[in-house]
Chain A
Amino acid sequence: VTTTKCRRVLVVDDNLGLAENLAELVELRGHSAVVATSAEAALAEASAHPPDVLVTDYRLPGMSGAGLVRRLREAGVHAVAIVISAFTDDETIDDARRAGAAFVAKPVALEELARLVDGTSST
Chain B
Amino acid sequence: VQSPTFLENVKAYVGFDDASSALLREAHPLVAPRFGPIVDDFYATIEAHAGARAAIKGGAAQIERLKGSLMRWIDEMFRGPHDEAYFQRRARIGHIHVKIDLPQVYMFTAMDRIRVQTQSVLRDSTAFDAEKAKRVATALDQILDIELAIMLETYREDLVAKNRTAERLATIGQLAAGIGHELRNPLGVVESSAFLVTRRLEQLQVSDASVARHMEKIAVEVQRSNKTISDLLELARSRPLSRRAVPARTLLDAAVPAANLPAGVTVEIDAAPELTLDCDPDQLTRVLTNLLINASQAMGGRGHIWIDARRESAVVTLVIRDDGPGVPADVRPRIFEALFTTKAKGNGLGLALCRRIAEAHGGTVTLDASDRGASFRVVIPDVGAAP
Contact = CB atoms under 8 A, between A and B. Distances in A.
Contacts, number: 44
Interface of B: 180-181, 184-189, 191-193, 195-196, 199, 222, 226, 237
B192 A106 contact: no
Nearest to A59: B181
Q: Name the residue in B186, B187, B191, B192 with the highest tally of chain A Cβ atoms < 10 Å from its Cβ.
A: B192
A15 interface: yes
A70 B184 CA distance: 25
A107 B181 contact: no
A24 B196 CA distance: 8
Contact of B196 (A25, A106, A108): A25
Nearest to B222: A107
Contact of A110 (B189, B193, B195, B222): B195
A25 B192 contact: yes
A17 B193 CA distance: 9
Given A86-B180, A86-B181, A87-B181, A106 B195 contact: no
A48 interface: no
Interface of A: 13, 15, 17-18, 21-22, 24-25, 28, 86-87, 89, 106-108, 110
A86 B226 CA distance: 11
B184 A86 contact: yes
6 contacts: A13-B185, A21-B188, A87-B181, A106-B184, A107-B188, A108-B192
Q: In terms of DSSP, what is the predominant structure of the interface of chain B? A: helix
Contacts of A24: 192, 196
Contacts of B185: 13, 15, 18, 86, 106
Nearest to B183: A86
A28 B199 contact: yes
B189 A107 contact: no
Contacts of A107: 184, 187-188, 191, 222, 226
A15 B189 contact: yes
A18 B196 CA distance: 12
A108 B195 contact: no
B199 A21 contact: no
A18 B181 contact: no
B226 A17 contact: no
Given A18-B188, A18-B192, A86-B184, 18 more contacts: A18-B185, A18-B189, A21-B188, A21-B192, A25-B195, A28-B196, A28-B199, A86-B180, A86-B181, A86-B185, A89-B237, A106-B185, A106-B188, A107-B188, A107-B222, A107-B226, A108-B188, A110-B192
Given A86-B184, A106-B184, A107-B226, A17 B189 contact: yes
Closest 4 interchain pairs by CB?
A21-B192, A86-B184, A17-B189, A15-B185
A34 B181 CA distance: 25
Given A28-B199, A107-B187, A22 B192 contact: yes
Contacts of A87: 181
A18 B189 CA distance: 5
Contacts of B191: 107
A28 B192 CA distance: 12
Most chain A beta carbons < 10 A, residue from B186, B189, B222: B189
Nearest to A19: B189
Nearest to B188: A18
Contacts of A25: 192, 195-196
B189 A21 contact: yes
